[in-house]
Structure 1
Amino acid sequence: MHDIRFIRENPEVFDAGLAKLGVSSMSSEILAIDSARREKITAAEAAQAERNAASKQVGAAKGRGDEAEFERLRALVADKKAEIARLDEEAKAEDARLAELLTTLPNLPLDEVPEGADENDNVEIRRWGTPREFDFAPKEHYELAAVQDGMDFETAAKLAGSRFVLMSGAVARLHRALAQFMLDTHTTEHGLTEVNGPVMVREEMMFGTGQLPKFGEDSYLLREGWWLIPTSEVTLTNIVNDTIIEESYLPRRYAAHSLCFRSEAGSAGRDTSGMLRQHQFEKVEMVSVTHPDKSLEEHERMTRCAEVILEKLDIPYRTVVLCTGDMGFGARKTHDIEAWLPGQNSYREISSVSVCGDFQARRMNARFRPEGGGKPEFVHTLNGSGLAVGRCLIAVLENGQQEDGSVHLPQALHQWLGGKTRITAAGELV
């Protein structure tokens, strides 16, 4: 959510930031509503002062027997009371209009973010690893003999419909091992605190991280009023919802492995084969809550945490800075990490790491108390995948595939697989 004081003081800067996102100028409309709201508040305060003055004079008029003045003052007090109530209601209505408008506007990109229309305008900043050269035509993950019995889309469709998968045997164990490997790496090597939280949250938690009100169609609302989380970003970031923490408590760094749920509204026809885009999936999510002066440094650190996972798994990747046209609603800057998938002969997103500034903190009213004193300030929040477990499974299977349909597994996973090193073409973990 945006700071109205910033918009008052920097309307041109605000509109220029929105323009980079393809959003038309909004400062005039916002400031008109804000001005009307402030005028109502000022008028109510003036009416209250007049009422208070008249109230003091009522008794004096009564005491000196001036009945006409007494009645006039009493009527004035009653009129001012009604006027104050009306102005308060009108101010509240303008305030609600302002809040509704501000909550639907995206965060402003940092100046360093490249301008562009879509993913084709993203800027690559580095690559790691060299894609393997195959002596045969590499297959996509769902075509591999090793996973034919362990990745069942037909039964999942019978159980729940399209865009679900039923994993079993070696594939299910590999999937679980990947999540454990990621979580253990982040907690033991990267200093993140493991959290196991709810996957159902209240509406205000979804509002706090920006999924509501604008993107409700992308998530699932239960009839009891809870929302299924699209990512643990919602759970982890909202730990500081409506809280004032001490500056010494920063930074807070969290990691969680959880189920995630997305309706994939608007993505019909995209990545329908295999398990690249599912309604239910798992992620290891990273969230940081930082001092405003440290958030950009933290963004680089979090990106590195995600990259290390792929390097340990020996999966080639590239890291890109998203352009303005491809960034998410709440981000000021985003790094996408894309893993090499030989079956598709392309890099595909496996992690997005975003710095949100105080955008989410304002929606959540999440603040910190400066060590040197002074009024509380809004924290900065960051989130990123560390990594998407299902997509990482795809990358491991495709990069490790052999001509006979078996899959060689990364050495980094062997200890989480009981020393097993590969999945045979028959689907056995050996």
Structure 2
Amino acid sequence: MIHAAHGPELREETEKMIHAAHGPELREETEKMIHAAHRPELREETEKNPCCTRTRATRGDREDDPCYLLELQPSPRLRLQLQILRLCDAWWKKDLKEKETFGRSAMIIALTKSFDLKKPGTEIQRVWSLREVLLGLDNTSEDNKQMMDLLLKCFQRPAFLRNDDGKRFLVFLFSWNINFISVIHGTIKNQLEFFSMMVTAHIAEIYFRAWKKAGGDFLEKIESSCVQDLMQNAIFLHRSSPIVSYFHSRKGCEKVDKMLSNLYKPILWKALSAPNFEVRANATLLFTEAFPVLDMENGNKSTDEATQKQLDTVMVLLDDPHPTVRSNAILGVCKILAKYWEVLPAAIITDFLKKLVMELAFDSSSPDVRCSVFKCLII
């Protein structure tokens, strides 16, 4: 790095950068960066850094990339890195020549710093301000693999998930490239079981906001590749999905109701009558949590008929031959009654309570079913 910082080639390049920087502010930033590169303490530290020897061989091919200097830095980060970041950031925002290269470098450095700092709020804000840099990148190119890896790491960093600008950036990534949506979803699914409840709640909010803002092919992709995939996992793999539950909690909005109805239609009703009792049990939990699954655009008459049909389905589940399904149905019925007590007809409430108290509370074939009645009635 010493040779790189003091060699005539890089000196000439940086002089060109100053000449290209027409504004006094950017010229000042560039001069600061060069001054930092010549500081004696940086020279001494970088001479001790073994990574300089490893990377010097490839310097000729990469010295025109500002991120090359970042890779030469020892840990902890030196002031030179901050000067490079400020220069690249300013270069992009001033819309100067070859701004794409400097913007890309600023994004990579800002992402890297945001992962390393204990309080990364400022760098996350910088990442959000640089988001348009991504619009000119090809996410399938090998040259951008480092960038893709860093972007995916954002979904695994609680600091990004909790930060308002971080959430905005992650929601933006769902609208950046339609093929990248599946990559994001795969990354989140692999880590979901290791997230805390708080982090998972933030993830669910990001999915919902991304879906709400999406349109056209992006909306269809998020619904089919993300939301419906999580629904299927909840049914067939017995993996409860806090993300799907988050969408359920937003019911009452016409757009949400319509989406849930459309996505559940090809999978939920078949699962409720599947030969495998585990599939039926999982589907029962999902169905009763989402109840009623309706498309409000169909009109009042169709909605009333669909609601009655679903109430009949719940009653059938209470008579399922397997005790696990009956236990889950008891839990679901109690939640439905608690939520819709004031709007359900008295006759329907009476029928459900009689079924629970007069029959299932005395189920001689399963103590779990009997216990479920008394545990769930307190809901």
From the two aligned structures, give the one with the greater strand fraction: 1
Fold match, TM over 0.5?
no
**TM class by smaller structure:** under 0.3
TM-score (norm 1): 0.22
- Greater relative contact order structure (CA < 8 Å, 6+ sep): 1
